Copies of this chain bind each other. A is one copy, B any other.
């Protein structure tokens, strides 16, 4: 692999220049800017590397860039990425313009340099090295690069189902992970799902003078009581059947979590808290964080929210909630159970709206793909990776695991202070270099089977 690695080293600046050009395109899916242009630009980059590339329309969303190229082995590796980015706002908190990537102190700053254009560019760097040095890829490669990831990948399940044959492969490499605080590369094997809902109470037909608190129903009280019925201070979710489909972690998964570094002290300190909820620590903290579902109030609004006193009995109150789900919980099923819970607890007056649903997915840590990825990481980084059975976050992994039936793993160029989704998003150039080599090695290890 040294010839390939050398090529990556020698052409690192070209790859960073390619990334810089890609990040100049403000493809903010939430704001619907530069979407078509970026999709075309990305498919052009793939075509330059010998891919047959297409921009496919997606029902209810932005187009998907699809590309494929054969290789020495008939085994096919599918890369999932996304070309859309988060909004750059608040702009005033950036040290340099978000869409003019800037190199400072060994780091490249700009929106998308990490999430996810940096990973696209690192993968292209690896593929270019193979093509230029060996003339051919070691295995067949496909790309599925969507433009809606930052707005929840609407209808990705349907798209994958429709394009099942086109996307057929032997394994899938996910959008891009990174290294730990200590610089240890991580291999991520799954994601949580998500159910996002709004709960709304409407009682009287207009705000009333608060002296009517004696006799008129108060929307804020109804909402507070409904919320308190969903989860208590012991953090146990009280919805009947909520935990029914939680898949127990396997001994292999627990062993993997045990081998993970303890980041809890750093996390808690960074958020200024003394201890984690219910006092969990160590392994228990990590198991909770990775394998337990959540019920989170994301926002509350009702009545008078300004300065000082206004004596008003609110006609309307609204809460936003999300539930991070774990396999095999299903957002539609949890939504139904939540509705049933509210009805049975006397809150049939609370309106419940489904805002978004994403299904959870995990590839077992015992899957042979893990060993393939582990070897590639050792080739590129010179050290053993940490195998992370699942992230605590959410992504559209489910259709790739369930519909395509693929084992999946996630490696990439990120690090803990990449500031993704925030001002001054950045990557370290050395992580980009190592990440590109990791992908190059993975192609070889994967081709070997």
Q: Which residues of B contact A212 (CB under 8 A)?
A: 267, 271, 289, 392
- Whole-angstrom distance between the alpha carbons of A220 and B209 in the complex? 25
Q: Assess the A392–B233 pair: CB atoms within 8 A.
A: no
Residue of B233, B294, B319 touching A213 (CB-CB under 8 A): B294
Q: Which residues of B contact A283 (CB under 8 A)?
A: none
Known: A211-B393, A302-B300. A205 touches B271 (CB 8 A): yes
- Whole-angstrom distance between the alpha carbons of A309 and B301 in the complex? 14
Q: Assess the A298–B273 pair: CB atoms within 8 A.
A: no
A-to-B contact residues, CB < 8 Å: 152, 192, 194, 196, 203-206, 208-218, 220-221, 223-225, 227-228, 231-233, 264, 267-268, 271-273, 276-277, 280, 285, 288-289, 292, 294-305, 308-314, 317-320, 322, 324, 346, 355-356, 391-394
Q: Which residues of B contact A196 (CB under 8 A)?
A: 309, 311
Q: Assess the A299–B314 pair: CB atoms within 8 A.
A: yes
Q: Assess the B218–A296 pair: CB atoms within 8 A.
A: yes
- Whole-angstrom distance between the alpha carbons of A296 and B322 in the complex? 27
- Whole-angstrom distance between the alpha carbons of A88 and B217 in the complex? 28
Known: A224-B227, A273-B204. A299 touches B288 (CB 8 A): no
- Whole-angstrom distance between the alpha carbons of A268 and B216 in the complex? 8
- Whole-angstrom distance between the alpha carbons of A303 and B308 in the complex? 20
- Whole-angstrom distance between the alpha carbons of A319 and B303 in the complex? 10
Known: A213-B294, A224-B228, A288-B215. A299 touches B322 (CB 8 A): no
Q: Assess the B312–A299 pair: CB atoms within 8 A.
A: yes
Q: Assess the B215–A297 pair: CB atoms within 8 A.
A: no
- Whole-angstrom distance between the alpha carbons of A295 and B213 in the complex? 7
Known: A216-B277, A277-B216. A300 touches B317 (CB 8 A): yes
Residue of A288, A303, A318 ringed by the most chain B CB atoms within 10 A: A303
Q: Which residues of B contact A310 (CB under 8 A)?
A: 298-299, 320
Q: Which residues of B contact A314 (CB under 8 A)?
A: 297-300
Q: Assess the A356–B277 pair: CB atoms within 8 A.
A: no
Q: Which residues of B contact A317 (CB under 8 A)?
A: 300
Q: Which residues of B contact A215 (CB under 8 A)?
A: 264, 267-268, 276-277, 280, 285, 288-289
Q: Assess the A298–B294 pair: CB atoms within 8 A.
A: no
Q: Assess the B276–A324 pair: CB atoms within 8 A.
A: no
Q: Which residues of B contact A305 (CB under 8 A)?
A: 299-301, 318, 320
- Whole-angstrom distance between the alpha carbons of A206 and B269 in the complex? 12
- Whole-angstrom distance between the alpha carbons of A308 and B150 in the complex? 13
> Chain B nearest CB: distance from A177 CB in Å?
14
